């Protein structure tokens, strides 16, 4: 591997940050009235907070997607594969139903985001404990257990949901369950998510060089001086904590963590040291664009309501990924 110092990392990060800043500035000019232009100071403060939260969520999902695809050796892996999203959604629904039923002060004080974070960590803990054997994690076993945990969480979710049909007609916190940029967050919630994501990202950046050998077998990785089992544990724990921290404030927003690593590979190749900051910037920009598109579509002449960005990314992400897959197959290459 070529020598990769702090200078190269900073240059790559600076390029990605510049790309994101240009996109974010454009998103600030998009309003819900159909007009374009730089907002006044009151609207600017509101939009800036929303764009920053969207960018934070996107950046975290993009970085986590890079790690999941490398460690699990699966081009279809995304940050929700091991149950983070389903666990967060399930405990968020339990919180919401608890508020409707009891109005208990301790439940209200904990907050939906706290329940979501706890649910995400609980699910990923179960996956790791069940998948590990003598302290080792096998990618295939992780995926299988993750699918099972997702299925169980989803079944419990549907059971509770259909026992409370009134949830369909209610907005507010329920919007969280389909994935969206929340506008009712406190500064403490935003800073907590940013701190967890930032610290986790720095840890992943430190491991990025070792992630290049993650797709190799155990013998090949050890021959290159990488303790592959320790790498799997540390990288997956960091990526899962990053994912849990942002899912706790946004809900499940699909396809961002799946697509952006592939877009990054088209731009900078498969070197994880370049791919991690590139996919992070692309995902931050993509979710900021999706949020701006949601604002624009909410005007009176179009949808008349603001769609959660999770709906937009789901509608656009699937066809885009199929197009990307088709182009790569025509070129005779793979996704990884």
Residue 1 maps to a domain: no
**260 falls within a domain:** yes
Residue 229, domain member (yes or no):
yes
> Positive or negative CA dihedral for 195, 56, 61, 54?
positive
Residue 106 is assigned to a structural domain of this protein: yes
Chain centroid to Cα 71, Å, comes to: 16
The residue whose two tokens read 């491991």 is 207
CATH of the domain at 64: 1.10.3470.10
Q: Which two tokens stand for residue 177?
A: 């369950």
Contacts of 44 (CB under 8 A, 6+ apart): 28, 38
Contact (CB, 8 A) for 96 and 167: yes
User: Are 257 and 64 spatial neighbours (Cβ–Cβ below 8 Å)?
Assistant: yes
Instruction: State the pLDDT at residue 332.
Output: 63
Please determine, for residue 20, whether its predicted confidence score (pLDDT) is greater than 90.
Answer: yes
Range 174-185 average pLDDT: 72
Q: Is the pTM of this model over 0.85?
A: yes
The 3-state DSSP class for residue 133 equals strand
Element (H, E) at 130: helix 112-131
- Whether the per-residue pLDDT at 202 is higher than 60: the answer is yes
The distance between the two most distant Cα atoms of the chain, rounded to a whole number of Å, is: 62
**Residue 213 to residues 131, 216, 220, 258: CA-CA distances in angstroms?**
21, 5, 8, 20
Report pLDDT for 25: 93
**Is the residue at 335 inside a domain?**
no
Q: What range does the domain containing 192 cover?
A: 6-330
> What does each C-alpha distance from 261 to 42, 175, 231, 277, 295 come to in angstroms?
36, 27, 19, 10, 26
Considering its fold, how many domains does the chain have in total?
A: 1
Q: Which residue has the higher pLDDT, 287 or 161?
A: 287
Cα atoms in the 13 Å half-sphere on the side-chain side of 280? 30
Is there a domain that residue 176 lies in?
yes
């Amino acid at each position: 591997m070529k020598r990769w110092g702090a200078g190269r990392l900073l240059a790559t990060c600076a390029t990605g940050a510049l790309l994101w800043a240009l996109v974010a500035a454009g998103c600030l000019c998009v309003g819900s009235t159909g007009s374009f232009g730089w907002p006044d100071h009151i609207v600017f403060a509101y939009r800036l907070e929303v764009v920053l939260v969207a960018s934070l969520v996107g950046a975290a999902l993009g970085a986590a997607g890079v790690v999941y695809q490398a460690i699990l050796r699966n081009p279809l892996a995304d940050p929700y594969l091991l149950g983070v999203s389903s666990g967060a959604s399930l405990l968020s629904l339990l919180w919401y139903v608890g508020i409707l039923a009891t109005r208990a002060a301790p439940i209200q004080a904990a907050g939906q985001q706290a329940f979501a974070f706890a649910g995400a960590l609980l699910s990923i803990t179960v996956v790791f404990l069940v998948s590990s054997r003598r302290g080792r994690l096998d990618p295939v076993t992780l995926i299988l257990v993750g699918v099972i945990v997702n299925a169980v969480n989803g079944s419990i979710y549907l059971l509770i949901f259909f026992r409370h049909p009134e949830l369909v007609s209610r907005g507010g916190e329920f919007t969280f369950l389909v994935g969206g940029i929340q506008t009712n967050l406190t500064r403490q919630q935003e800073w907590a998510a940013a701190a967890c994501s930032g610290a986790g990202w720095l840890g992943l950046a430190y491991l990025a060089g070792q992630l290049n050998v993650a797709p190799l077998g155990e013998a090949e990785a050890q021959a290159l001086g990488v303790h592959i089992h320790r790498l799997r544990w540390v990288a997956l724990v960091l990526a899962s904590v990053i994912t849990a921290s942002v899912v706790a404030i946004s809900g499940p927003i699909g396809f961002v963590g799946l697509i952006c690593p592939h877009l990054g590979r088209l731009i900078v190749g498969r070197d994880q040291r370049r791919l991690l900051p590139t996919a992070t910037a692309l995902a931050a920009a993509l979710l900021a664009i999706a949020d701006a598109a949601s604002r624009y579509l909410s005007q009176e002449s179009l949808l008349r309501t603001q769609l959660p960005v999770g709906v937009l990314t789901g509608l656009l992400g699937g066809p885009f990924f199929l197009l990307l897959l088709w182009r790569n197959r025509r070129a005779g290459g793979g996704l990884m």
